[in-house]
């Protein structure tokens, strides 16, 4: 499932995994979110309008830069700017297809996430 993050006129392509959580996230689109810094610049996070299936959360994952994830305990979107340790509660939704500099910067970032046309 191909999606796009629109950031101040720039489009950043990403691919969602074909999983229950990935499909449920795709069903929420389009979304207007403000991504805020978290974890000392390791990730960008935003609240989602609803919860996603979290069957994979108990396994957790070890995120890398460019991973788009769902943090089940808080119900938020988490985009990783840097590699991080294995974390319980994380469910991988997908990843960016290439450079994501428009999002990978300090400070709040307003985005519209939509299906790729």
How confident is the model at residue 55, as a pLDDT? 81
CA distance 77 to 91: 10
Q: Which residues of 38-59 are buried (b: 16+ CB within 10 A; e: fewer)?
A: beeebbbbbebeeebbbebbee
pTM: 0.95
Backbone dihedral region for residue 22 (phi beyond 0: left; psi -120 to 50: alpha; all else: beta): alpha
Q: Where are the domains of the chain?
A: 2-115
Provide Rg for the chain, Cα atoms.
13
Cα 112 to chain center, whole Å? 12
The string of pLDDT tens digits covering residues 10-67 is: 999 999 999 999 999 999 999 999 999 999 999 999 999 999 998 876 788 999 999 9
| Average pLDDT of the residues in 75-86 | 96
Q: What is the CATH number of domain 2-115?
A: 2.40.100.20
Three-state DSSP at 108 gives coil
């Amino acid at each position: 499932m191909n999606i796009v993050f629109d950031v101040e006129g720039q489009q950043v392509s990403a691919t969602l995994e074909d999983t229950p959580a990935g499909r449920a996230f795709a069903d929420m689109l389009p979304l207007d979110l403000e991504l805020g810094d978290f974890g000392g610049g390791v990730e960008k996070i935003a609240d989602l309008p609803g919860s996603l299936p979290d069957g994979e959360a108990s396994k957790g994952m070890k995120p890398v830069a460019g991973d788009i994830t769902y943090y089940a305990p808080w119900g938020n979107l988490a985009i990783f700017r840097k590699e991080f340790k294995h974390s319980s509660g994380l469910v991988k939704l997908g990843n960016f297809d290439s450079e994501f500099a428009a999002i990978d910067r300090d400070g709040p970032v307003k985005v519209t996430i939509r299906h790729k046309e």
